[in-house]
Amino acid sequence: MTTIYLIRHAEAEGNLYRIAQGQHESSLTDRGWRQVRALERRFADIRIDAVYASDLYRTRATATAIYRSHGLPLHRCPGLREICVGDWEGRTWGDIARSAPEAMADFGSRMDRWSIPGAETPAEVLARVKAAVEDIARANPGKTLALFSHGYAIRLLLANLQGISLRDTGEKSPTGDNTAVSLLEWDGEALRVVWQNDNRHLKDPAYLAGEKPGRAKRAFALEPGLWFRPLEGPEAAERLAAAWAEAGEQGPVPAASLTLEGLLNEEPAGLLHLAPETGRIHLAYIRPDCRRRGLGVQLLGQAVQYTRAQGGETLSALPGRLGEAYLRDCGFAPQGEAEGRRLWQKPIGFDPSI
Give the integer Cα–Cα distance in Å for 27 and 11. Answer: 9
Task: Report residue 219's pLDDT band, with 50, 70 and 90 as the boundaries.
Answer: low
Q: What is the pLDDT of residues 241-272, one digit of tens each?
A: 999 998 888 888 998 999 999 999 999 999 99
Asked if residue 214 has pLDDT above 90, the reply is no
3-class state of residue 182 by DSSP: strand
Percent of the chain with pLDDT over 90: 83
Predicted pLDDT at 218: 54
Between 14-28, 105-119, 163-177, 326-340, the lowest mean confidence (pLDDT) is in: 326-340
Rounded to 5 degrees, what are φ and ψ at 277?
-65, 125
Distance (Å, rounded) from C-alpha 321 to C-alpha 259?
Answer: 15
Q: Give the pLDDT of residue 321.
A: 67
Mean pLDDT over 322-340 rounds to 84
Task: Name the pLDDT band for 221 (thresholds 50, 70, 90).
Answer: low
Q: DSSP of 218-278, one letter per residue?
A: PP-TT----EEEE--STTHHHHHHHHHHHTT--SSPPP-SEEEEEEETTEEEEEEEE-SST
**In the predicted model, is pLDDT for residue 213 greater than 70?**
no
Q: Report the pLDDT averaged over residues 335-353.
A: 90
Grade residue 26 by pLDDT with cuts at 50, 70 and 90. Answer: very high
Whether pLDDT at 286 is above 90: yes
Quote the mean pLDDT of the chain: 93
pTM over 0.75: yes
Taking residues 174-202, what's their average pLDDT? Answer: 97
Check whether 168 has a pLDDT greater than 90.
yes
Q: What is the total residue count of the chain?
A: 354
The pLDDT value given to residue 249: 83
Q: How many Å apart are CA 114 and CA 110, to the nearest integer?
A: 7
